[in-house]
Amino acid sequence: MAVTERGIEDYLGTLLKVVLNEALITNVDASDDSRANEVVLGKPTTERRQPKVVSIWIHHPLSLSKDMDEDVDGRRSSGDPNWWPSEMGADRYGMERIIGAIQINIREQLEYSDALQIISSLKRRTVKALDTDARLKVNLTDDFDFTMIKFETFQAAGVDSGGQRTSIHNEWVSWRAYVSKPKCA
């Protein structure tokens, strides 16, 4: 079988799964009610009946309408859009943005107060892991010379509970990655 070259999305998805497995399962005491049961890439299938499942979406499945221009454009709060590192040789036209999400699902029926405690703990652990893990702070290069130079979480208006009615059993953590494209000759 031929070896397939890997794109940045594949590398990033694999890395996110490792980071979240450690933060939400491996490094959490087995007796902790907010310990996740499984971390998966994409939508959990019906065969996975675990009570607490965290799904990694490389492309955000929800509509991010409000504040989307600011979020996707990557402007900092100061409003300065020209903050790409010059040592990467990046400019506004040599960049791609990948907008993804982490979906946290509690599939068991719980009282509101119990569900709130578990889902908020899972969400905060997820945000902390994504924003502080050293493996997401270094440049990540794929087989096509695309390089992820920045990864961060952000708050997308209206999508925390799925963009529909409020549900305490389902939360979203939005993230974005900035990828430098190789210069074309």
Degrees to nearest 5, angle at CA 178 with 156 and 17: 75
The residue written with tokens 């400019």 in the block is 91
Encoded amino acid at 15, one letter: L
**pLDDT for residue 71:** 47
Tell me, what's the pLDDT at 170?
Answer: 84
What is the model's pLDDT at position 122? 95
Interatomic CA distance for residues 167 and 162, integer angstroms? 8
Structure tokens at 114: 């119990």
Q: In the prediction, which pLDDT does 80 show?
A: 42
Q: Which helix (H) or strand (E) holds 141?
A: strand 140-141
SS3 of residue 95 by DSSP = strand
Rounded to the nearest 10 degrees, how much is the dihedral formed by the CA atoms of 61, 84, 149, 173? -30
Lay out the sheet containing 52-57: strands in order across: 38-41, 52-57, 95-106, 170-180, 147-154, 140-141
Please answer whether residues 52 and 122 qualify as being in contact, where contact means their C-beta atoms are separated by less than 8 angstroms. yes
Which H/E stretch holds residue 151? strand 147-154
Where the chain has pLDDT below 70, the residues are: 1, 46-48, 63-93, 157-168, 183-185
Dist. CA 166–CA 160, nearest whole Å: 9
Question: What is the pLDDT, as a whole number, of residue 116?
Answer: 87
**What Å distances lie between residue 77 and 39, 62, 83, 96, 175, CA to CA?**
32, 24, 12, 20, 16
Q: Does the predicted model carry a pTM greater than 0.85?
A: no
